Structure 1
Amino acid sequence: MTDKATLPGPTPGAGVARYGAGRRRTAGRPGRVRRALTPYLFLLPWIVGVIAVTLGPMAASLYLSFTDYNLVGRLNWVGLDNYRRMFTDDPRFFAAAGVTFRYVLLSVPLQLAFALALALLLNRGVRGLSIYRSVYYLPSLLGSSVAVAILWRQVFGRSGLVNRALEVVGFENLPNWIATPQHALQTLVVLNVWTFGSPMIIFLAGLRQIPTELYEAASVDGAGSARKFAMITVPLLTPVIFFNLILQMIHAFQAFTQAYIISGGNGGPVDSTLFYTLYLYQKAFTDFDMGYASAMAWVLLVVIAAFTAIAFSTSRYWVYYGGDR
């Protein structure tokens, strides 16, 4: 029989330790929840902004695209009638789409080519490179402004700077480029090409990342400047070209300010500068047909998404990333 004196007694402080551990486990649950919610607290302003400024208006626009709404009256549900009118009963819709497609196809390649040419020039080690970058980037900051559009209208007018310069070298009977249907869109293309600063800076950053050892090795093999450009510069610059292509294409599809100011808001002459966004603006705030304008906005979104998807799907055939073979 075991003596009671020899039985193990409770360890001093064991109850206090168990109590403290239980308190820590109980207190740990709110702490873990608090730590899990802390990132979302910092993200809350962004989440509210996305819902209030982006997702909310998008949902409202999608609903309005199925209605007949003039901003002041009642909403009338019309289903797909706005889309049916757009593709069957509205010739100006196709005129605006055609003008926009021509603008994108002309302005984007020309702007990227001009920006790449200047980036190659500045990459040759020009003294005062930071000054040149700032000066060349300035048009990109001003290109979409109302002031530059008004200035462009004066420059390409009948007695503007362009005609005066051409008259000096012997040209006569020069047209008003802005008011001539055959040339009005080209003036806007030139304006977009002039705002080459942003893609040029990106091209210049990409050129600075190409190892000089590749050019040195090509020189040892007897490659000339054209071959170096075709076999080294262009392949290694294709990710940057792709990036600029996507950005400038989306920007060109959404062009509005230049056409609005230069054409006086009506897309003239003879709808030659009737950009898609300009016609959308006319339907929404001139004709007060907000339902139809919302449908046009969603069609534009689908078109931009389709062109972007095509660009991404074809990029694997011509865009070279460092690890590709």
Structure 2
Amino acid sequence: MNPKRSNAIWGFVFIAPQLIGLLAFSLIPLIAAFVLSTLDWDGFGAAAFIGIDNFTYAFKNPDFQKAMTNTLYFSVLTVPMGIFLSLLTAVALNNVRMRVVYRLFFFMPVVTSSVAVAIVWMWLLNGDFGIINVLLKLTFGIQGPQWLTDLHLVLPSLAIVSIWKGIGFNMVLFLAGLQGISKDYYEASMIDGATKNQQFWRITLPLLSPTTLFVTIIAVIDSFKVFDTAFVMTSGGPAKASYTMVYHLYELAFKNFQFGKSSAAAVVLFVIILFFTLLQTHLSRKWVHYAD
């Protein structure tokens, strides 16, 4: 057998598991969602083609509007603060001893079950006997709020949980980016008399911009996909104050059995995420710098 052909065959053999998984769990469901978005189907009977009626219903549905507003607000709360804290943590750990140990501690929430994290934080944020309110009472003598039942505090509370859980993942990415910056730049700047502050703003941040772009894109996508914390901690309440887009999709599909309407809302969410991703990629030309 031709060696090149043999190498090609073995190459396809090795990528086959990943390719099959991509087709089965990503591409085929994506195509199915687009097809279902044009159908009226309850998951059991015959499906009827109704064109764009599901999309019209989605944009007129008050629940869809509420879910989109909450999701956008949640994204604004989590993305900037999450990136800032992750970068701050990565910079702090970059030059300390036992960096691997600290990195492990910060990364543990990332690999911990979302349900387990949500249950623990439900106890911490309980307005009556939660440890956070107990500490506020003992330390400052103030009565803590009802974190998960207050209409104005429930989304910020979920944002705190999301930031805490995701900070380790972004921190690892930033650490990899920091360690990839050549020390020659810092040595040259020290010869020119640059301070640590000037090195950070003129060297570290610009050369870390590719990592920052990647982290930002991933953080925005994750913020739009929030579901597990809202599902476990608040069930979308109170009064749908934590009702997110993915929770809306879940209710339409698995509570109301309106798979066509749920798929249409999912397609809209997909388009919105795609828009923000392309927008960030386009704007990155102005602020992302790659080292020569």
Q: TM-score scaled to structure 1, two decimals?
A: 0.84
User: CA contact under 8 A between 2:151 and 2:238: conserved in structure 1?
Assistant: yes
Question: Percent sequence identity over matched residues?
Answer: 34
More displaced stretch, 213-222 vs 109-118: 213-222
The counterpart of 2:138, out of the listed 152, 168, 171, is 168
The counterpart of 2:114, out of the listed 145, 154, 157, is 145
The counterpart of 1:49, out of the listed 21, 24, 41, is 21
Q: Give the match for residue 73 of structure 1.
A: 45
CA distance in 1, matches of 2:228, 2:74: 14
CA distance in 1, matches of 2:255, 2:16: 37
Deviation at 1:92, TM superposition (A): 1.2
Q: Give the match for residue 300 of structure 1.
A: 269
Count of aligned residue pairs for this structure pair:
290
The counterpart of 2:101, out of the listed 131, 137, 143, is 131
Deviation at 1:82, TM superposition (A): 0.5
Q: Give the match for residue 24 of structure 1.
A: none
CA distance in 1, matches of 2:106, 2:99: 10
CA distance in 2, matches of 1:220, 1:244: 32
User: CA contact under 8 A between 2:133 and 2:143: conserved in structure 1?
Assistant: no
Deviation at 1:190, TM superposition (A): 0.7
One-letter amino acid of the structure 2 residue matched with residue 277 of structure 1: V
Is 1:281 aligned with 2:250? yes
Residues 76, 148 of structure 1: alpha-carbon distance in 2 compared, 3 angstrom cutoff: same
One-letter amino acid of the structure 2 residue matched with residue 109 of structure 1: P
CA distance in 2, matches of 1:240, 1:38: 33
Is 1:236 aligned with 2:203? no
Is 1:260 aligned with 2:231? yes
**What are structure 1's unaligned runs of at least 5 residues?**
1-27
CA distance in 2, matches of 1:59, 1:93: 22
Q: Give the match for residue 16 of structure 1.
A: none
Q: Give the match for residue 92 of structure 1.
A: 63
Deviation at 1:32, TM superposition (A): 8.3
| Larger gyration radius, structure 1 or structure 2 | 1
CA distance in 2, matches of 1:251, 1:35: 38
**What are structure 2's unaligned runs of at least 5 residues?**
none
Deviation at 1:54, TM superposition (A): 2.5
Matches within 5 A, 1:114-125: 114-124=85-95
